[in-house]
Amino acid sequence: MSPSKVRVRFAPSPTGMLHVGNARSALFNYLFARKYKGKFILRIEDTDIERSEVLYIDEIYHDLKWLGLDWDEGPDIGGENGPYRQSERRDIYKTYLKKLQTNDLAYTCYCSAEELEIRRKDAIQNGQAPRYDNRCRHLTDEQIKKFEQEGRKPVIRFKMPEENIVVKDLIRGDVEFDHQLIGDFVIFKSDGGPSFHFAVVVDDIEMKISHVIRGEDHLPNTPRHIALFHAFGCELPLFAHMSMTMGPDGTRLSKRHGATSVNQYRELGYLPDAFSNFLALLGWSPGDDREILTRDELIDLFSIEGMTKSSAIFGIDKLNWMNGMYIRQAPIDKLTRLAIPYLQKGGYYPNGVNESEFVWISKVVDAVRGYLNCLSEIPQHAALFMNEEVEIEEASVEFIRSDEGQKVLQLFQSKIESMDTVDIDAFKSVLKDIQGELDVKGKQLYMPLRIALTGKKEGLELHVAVALLEKKKILQRIQTAQARPLI
Ligand code: GLU
């Protein structure tokens, strides 16, 4: 493969939020382009005027940028082969339609949607393929006149060749399609716009696309596309149909499985590098068992040969594990900046964070990051430090209500009161003193303090927690615990 020849595209339809399966297509195309020092093109397929919305185009830009995928040509930055929104390419499609009409490869069809639906059902009932029966291929002038007078809105169809078509797929090998199952298909709709099939092929020709890397759901469309390429006398791109993204139950990933769009994962606080690392491993493998891979490593290792035929399972446990790894490795300042909006959503720091607060928050983030799957979980972990009081779980009250527990709390309180600040060393030496003075150790010493200060029997190491708490809060919690009655 001559590197400069690689030209691939991501061609989303802006009819909804960017689905994680589509984001994976974008990522694979991007990795392929970068690996071969080719071009990655963004094309917006908005031929479905009713369902396409500008809002979703902006969302696509936002999500791709968040994932760190930059494109070389696209609607927002232009390029030699633009425009890159199909709605702005109508004249180009008309020119291509003329070529087909000149060669008698297209015709006008007057069948109504209702008629087509009835015939489709009949065909299924009779055990036949529900394809268009090509009946308008040979209309007489009189029939056409009659249909026109009836006010029917025609479409334009392409004459499919009557021979089987083999898709040479780089992932799936040769896949042969029986021409008898594929009828003449619509290339221009009754609203005067091009159909999806037509626009895709014209654009792939015009944009000199070398490889079409897209979801397996498009494989049945490919014989139609190949027939169009041939009709235009153009060389075929290479095709690679990726396996689909499935939920853990093996069905297509959908809302039933939870979050399905990139923006939802962004909002939940998955880190973009972790998320794209996770996506890269859906249906592709570097050939060994490495899982945490930097962007440069992904580019270096990526290959179409490494892509699997079997479907890829989107497993949230794996994503959580991977995100946790990235959270633990992230530079703490960066992580703190990312965490603050989540703390604010949780009700903390509504007016922003000053410098000294930032320093303290970063210590809290560092202390709890090992427990996080994603950043939206941070308020529940940070509450221990940020709330005035902690909620003491009922099952633990006995530790602070026992005589020994009360003695520990009292002595601890008096020792802390006389200190200026409570750091880890000071805390440890206070514990040692109490141990000596009251002759208690282990759980008897530790648990009353842990329960009073954190509310729970398990969790962060106590000295780490205490070092992050202000003296005032420590004393307050000890007092509250002393006053806590047993139910
Ligand atoms: N617009 C199509 C889609 O969103 C992609 C077409 C293609 O990649 O050829 O599914």
Angle of helix 471-483 relative to helix 443-454, nearest 10 degrees, comes to 110
pLDDT given for residue 486 in this prediction: 66
Q: Is 99 designated active site?
A: no
Alpha carbon distance 244, 219 (integer Å): 11
Q: Is the CB of 252 under 6 A from ligand 1?
A: no
Between the CA of 407 and the centroid of ligand 1 the distance, in Å, is 70
Residue that finishes a domain, picked among 190, 211, 242: 242
Q: Please identify which of the residues 99, 208, 255, 472 carries the catalytic annotation.
A: 255
Judge if 108 and 237 occupy the same domain.
Answer: yes
Between the CA of 143 and the centroid of ligand 1 the distance, in Å, is 36
Between the CA of 305 and the centroid of ligand 1 the distance, in Å, is 22
Q: Which residues pair with 44 in a beta bridge?
A: 85
Judge if 220 and 95 occupy the same domain.
Answer: yes
Judge if 309 and 167 occupy the same domain.
Answer: no
Q: Is the CB of 26 under 6 A from ligand 1?
A: no
- Residue 156: closest CA among 126, 189, 198: 189
Residue 319 within any structural domain of the chain? no
Residue 487 within any structural domain of the chain? no
Residue 212 within any structural domain of the chain? yes
**173 backbone dihedrals φ, ψ, rounded to 5°:** 80, -160
Q: How far is CA 150 from CA 113, 137, 478, in A?
A: 15, 19, 87
- Residue 86: closest CA among 223, 201, 199: 199
Give every residue of the chain whose pLDDT is below 70, as ranges: 1-4, 486-487
Q: Is the CB of 344 under 6 A from ligand 1?
A: no
Judge if 238 and 255 occupy the same domain.
Answer: no
Between the CA of 11 and the centroid of ligand 1 the distance, in Å, is 5
* Pocket test residue of 7, 24, 45 for ligand 1, highest count of atoms within 8 A of CB: 45
Residue 325 within any structural domain of the chain? no
Q: Could you tell me the residue range of the domain that residue 344 belongs to?
A: 330-386
CB 365 within 8 A of CB 336: yes
Q: Is the CB of 45 under 6 A from ligand 1?
A: yes
Residue that finishes a domain, picked among 194, 209, 242: 242
Question: What's the whole-model pTM score?
Answer: 0.93
Residue 9 within any structural domain of the chain? yes
pLDDT tens profile 19-78: 999 999 999 999 999 999 999 999 999 999 899 999 999 999 999 999 999 999 999 999
pLDDT given for residue 1 in this prediction: 54
DSSP E strand stretches across 151-306: 155-158, 165-169, 173-177, 185-188, 211-215, 238-242, 245-246
Q: Is the CB of 18 under 6 A from ligand 1?
A: no
Q: Are strands 185-188 and 155-158 parallel, antiparallel or unpaired?
A: antiparallel
Judge if 94 and 223 occupy the same domain.
Answer: yes
Q: What is the CATH number of the domain that holds 375?
A: 1.10.8
**31 backbone dihedrals φ, ψ, rounded to 5°:** -60, -40
Tell me how many domains the chain contains.
Answer: 4
Q: What is the CATH number of the domain that holds 207?
A: 3.40.50.620
Judge if 67 and 98 occupy the same domain.
Answer: no
Residue 133 within any structural domain of the chain? yes
